[in-house]
Amino acid sequence: MSSLYRRHRPQKWETISGQSNIKSTLQQEIKDVRLVNAYLFFGPRGVGKTSIARIFAKSLNCAMRIPTDSEPCNKCTNCEEITSGRSLDVLEIDAASHTGVDHVREAIIENAQFAPSKGAYKIFIIDEVHMLSISAFNALLKIIEEPPAHVIFILATTEPDKVPETIISRCQRFDFKKIPHKEVIARLKLVATEENISVEDEVYERVARQSEGCVRDAESLLGQLFSIGETAITSEMADLVLPRFYIDKLKIFVEGILKKDIITNLNLIQTLANEGVDLLLFHEQLIEFIRLIMLVKFNPELARQSFHLNDAALISIEDVAGRMSPEQLSVIFEETIDAKKWWKNARISEIPLELLTLKIAYAGSSLIPSVSHREIPSSQGHSKNQPVAEPSLDKIQIPTPVITNQLPACGTTSLLHESSNTPQPPGIISLDEIKKKWNDLLKRVQTYHHSLPVILRMSEPLEVAGNVLRIGLKYTFHRDKIKERKMSDLVEKALLDVLGFPLLIEPMMITVSTPVQPDKDAKSIEFDDLVQAFSGIPAPLA
Ligand SMILES: [Zn+2]
């Protein structure tokens, strides 16, 4: 069954999926006998470059083709020999395994001098042509520049950038595209019919989706499904071969984040793990799902096209999209992508998703911005089903933190506090314990970075919320420096060393209780040293 793709390789123009412009141009050239000596087919793998090259060659050498028609007969000796790969006039060369100049000389240049044995043309199909060595390209260039009249070259490549311009400029070029979803499905249905196997529509959708416009991959997946050995393939059977898009569970997860429903999300993660679901795959699908929410929110038509959604699925996602503000969406999108980094060191596969839930829901009192009452931007092609409602505070219940994010005017007292309805998870370490270990932390940081402790000496630990330590900084320059990924990673690494468990840090501005003197006091001298150490320019303080 693994050779499904070969067995069902299209033998006629009309059975080739996609590439309609390329097909019609080449078919017209055949009918008009208006050929060039060299063609370059470039584009992604598995989208029909070699199949079209073979049918093109077959049409040109078919002994029984009607001149006004471009289809080969597939019955004459020439056609049969080309189909079975035995033709002496149509030669396929895999440049990936024959990169050297000697092979090009023997297999192509010398061979090209002989007239075709049966057909009208001698046709060389050179696959993965970008793999040829420079000397092989030079040899090829010579014969392409002055080809014998009966010779046609078809060069195929996935990487046209690696083909010398001197070669490209002598070819008629065809840019192959990925095959549209609908055409992949049509192709799969044709293959299944020929194999006498019935397949549920949802399975076709999943195969087409998984193969991302590559027909060869799609047919290979279908072949794996057929190898299950059943005459009817159901969606449940497909789970053995294809990753399922956990759309219902993804929706529950995102709603859990929005509602700060940690219990539901932790249970969901555990259930998925118990069911043997690959949680990394789930995380990747979560990113895809959030992207889908974004598309549904701002460009429903594009969402429909890209994700091939049926109406029920679209309405269900519109429901979530309608309840998320653009700001929330942006934060959740970014944090979910960022959380992929936790997989590197996760010994327990549940941790990255658990941490993501906690981080957005709790650490995120500042991560998830309060719901704005701005109107959600409408978009072209907005579906009728799209709830245009503004995000509802009742439904989302995101507390509005009152944390100063900007440096307030000098001399005011600290405004750092949160609204009392912010739920707090059980603390894993108290602020006092952090303060006691602050000097140890500074020493540890010193071993990683010589200037970073200077900032930390001027900062203060403010609060531990869940697994996040909020650090107060008096200067925007300090805050921005600590916010840099490299720096925050170092601080978190040092925290892990000192505490024995991971904490994330969240640098934020605090107001200073005494006005900063314009004169240089001890602190401002230290500050100047610091700026020098980081070669930075401090932001104005007021
Ligand atoms: Zn024929």
Instruction: Please tell me the distance from the alpha carbon of residue 451 to that of residue 530, in angstroms, as a whole number.
Output: 7
The residue whose two tokens read 């944390």 is 403
Bridge partner list, 489: none
pLDDT tens by residue, 86-101:
999 999 999 988 888 8
Residue 447: the pLDDT is: 74
> What does each C-alpha distance from 484 to 106, 368, 481, 490, 492 come to in angstroms?
58, 20, 5, 10, 12
Cα(110) to centroid of ligand 1, in Å? 27
ipTM at complex level? 0.99
Cα(75) to centroid of ligand 1, in Å? 5
Give the strand order in the sheet containing 172-175.
Answer: 90-94, 122-127, 151-157, 38-42, 172-175
Residue 502: the pLDDT is: 82
Least confident of 72-76, 195-199, 329-333, 383-387: 383-387
pLDDT tens by residue, 29-58:
999 999 999 999 999 999 999 999 999 999
Question: Which parts of 162-234 fold into alpha helices (H)?
Answer: 165-168, 181-195, 201-211, 215-226
237: number of Cβ within 10 Å: 17
Identify the CATH homologous superfamily for domain 19-175.
Answer: P-loop containing nucleotide triphosphate hydrolases (3.40.50.300)
DSSP 11-70: -SGGG--S-HHHHHHHHHHHHHT---SEEEEESSTTSSHHHHHHHHHHHHH-SS--TT--
- Residues lining ion ligand 1 (Cβ < 5 A) are 62, 64, 72-73, 76, 79
Which span out of 194-208, 394-408, 487-501 was modeled with the highest average pLDDT? 194-208
Cα(217) to centroid of ligand 1, in Å? 29
Cα(173) to centroid of ligand 1, in Å? 26
Cα(10) to centroid of ligand 1, in Å? 15
**Residue spans per domain, the chain:** 19-175, 181-238, 263-396, 431-533
- SS3 state at 413: coil
Which span out of 351-355, 357-361, 366-370, 486-490 was modeled with the highest average pLDDT? 351-355
Identify how many contiguous H helices and E strands the chain contains and give both numbers: 26, 10
Which residues, 6 or more positions from 465, have their beta carbon under 8 angstroms from its beta carbon?
362, 363, 365, 424, 425
The rounded radius of gyration (Å) of the Cα atoms in the chain is 32
Cα(86) to centroid of ligand 1, in Å? 14
pLDDT tens by residue, 424-455:
444 578 888 888 888 888 888 877 766 677 77
Identify the CATH homologous superfamily for domain 431-533.
Answer: DnaA, N-terminal domain (3.30.300.180)
Strands 151-157 and 38-42 come out as parallel
* Record: fold of 263-396: Zinc Finger, Delta Prime; domain 3 (1.20.272)
Residue 175: the pLDDT is: 96
CATH number of 181-238: 1.10.8.60
